[in-house]
Amino acid sequence: MSSHHEVEMESLISSPNLVSTPLFISDIDELQKPIFEITSPLQPSRQRRITIKVLLDIALFVILLATGLWLFANVGRSLLLKSFGDAFLITGIMLAILSIWLVLTGASMFRKINLLKLIAALIVLIIGLSLILMGNKENQLAVGYALFATALLILITKFFFLIEDEQIRIERLERELKKAKQSAGMGMALSYFYNFIVPTAANIRSMAEGHTPIDMEVSRGKFEEYQLTTDQLFVIVPRDLDGSDMKVFLKNVSSSPNPSVIQGKPKERPGNDTHRPMFVYFLEWDPAKKECDGLFDIPTIISACWDRRKHGKNDQHDTVNITDEIMIFQNQLLSLINEHPITYGKVRILSFPSLPFRFSDIKYVVTQLAHGAALE
């Protein structure tokens, strides 16, 4: 009984630290060595720099507000309430109309923020109505003025000031595109996806189609047919590199006489997206039943980040941030997987601490996810 309890305690202690996908890399506590599935793009840091343009916009707002309050300094209470009421009413009507129009016709990805804008506009509108009622003034003129001013605002913003904002946005996108073209992570993701992920996923049958036949390399150059019991391919990505040779690492853990993993090739099936099957790795295999499970791959292509960094140490114009490049690699790979009909729902990305991995951790996480357990 005590032996069984010790085994349970050892298993609990050695279990990997599973967490949900963080939003920012800066939120990851590497001391705890968390493992998580990449289900949404990662961002470098939650810190946001305030641009000069934003500061200028704030300065303009403060100047206009202070000037307006100074002009109201010698106005009577009744007229002051009416003036403020008209201002809030006009502003609320204009914002409400524009926000409703954005909700109805704007891009779906901004729908949530547009609804928040609408709520803020309604609050301003209610404040305006309250101030006008306190001043016992008619507001028909203010409503008419608000509608007229809204029409003029649309004309001005559509054909004047927003053109400049659009130019700034295009300039920013061009800078991002230039950076993406120079990124090693972007190119590696495209190469890895189309040269390995797509053809491999195309050869993996879905569970509705039956088990995928695997040519398993049971010994050097000798193959036997196994059946893959799941239809998921897991991509294991380390968050950092220390110069370790990833190919040598994989070769060592798959070598006889006591391999931690075994290699095999999914049998090719007809299709435009398939070609000569490539070796993949399996965490579990049963020689008696001829079954295998835990299909995964570690993209050794990302070791090029370390090579580029090593050779570019003396070049200030070619500095490589490995963590950023891996983040770009993961984000681009996630986007490609979710957009392609062959890989969507079949390929999953797991983020692990740097090498060397404990394959017991990989086995635990892959088993949990392959059998439908969610990361809390």
C-alpha 34/C-alpha 50 separation (Å) is 31
How is 272-328 classified by DSSP, letter by letter? TT--S---EEEEEEETTTTEEEEEEE--GGGHHHHHHHHHTTT-GGG---HHHHHHH
Task: Please identify, among 121, 146, 181, the residue that sits at the C-terminal boundary of a domain.
Answer: 181
Q: Give a yes or no: residue 125 inside a domain.
A: yes
Note whether 28 and 167 are same-domain residues.
Answer: no
C-alpha 42/C-alpha 95 separation (Å) is 33
Q: How many CB atoms lie within 10 A of CB 196?
A: 17
Note whether 290 and 191 are same-domain residues.
Answer: yes
C-alpha 333/C-alpha 328 separation (Å) is 8
Range of the domain at 71: 52-181
Note whether 169 and 215 are same-domain residues.
Answer: no
What pLDDT tens digit does each residue of the chain (376 aa) get? 333 434 333 444 457 787 888 888 777 877 778 888 888 888 876 655 566 777 887 788 788 778 877 776 666 666 666 677 777 778 888 888 888 887 787 666 667 787 888 888 888 888 877 777 776 655 556 666 667 666 766 666 666 655 555 556 666 677 766 666 667 778 888 889 998 999 899 888 888 888 889 999 888 778 899 999 888 899 988 887 776 667 777 777 777 777 888 888 898 877 656 667 788 889 889 999 999 998 998 888 887 777 666 655 555 555 667 788 888 888 889 999 998 988 998 999 998 887 777 777 888 888 878 776 444 4
Note whether 129 and 270 are same-domain residues.
Answer: no
Note whether 15 and 108 are same-domain residues.
Answer: no
Q: Give a yes or no: residue 244 inside a domain.
A: yes
State how many domains the chain has: 2
Note whether 156 and 211 are same-domain residues.
Answer: no
Tokens at 55, concatenated: 């500061």
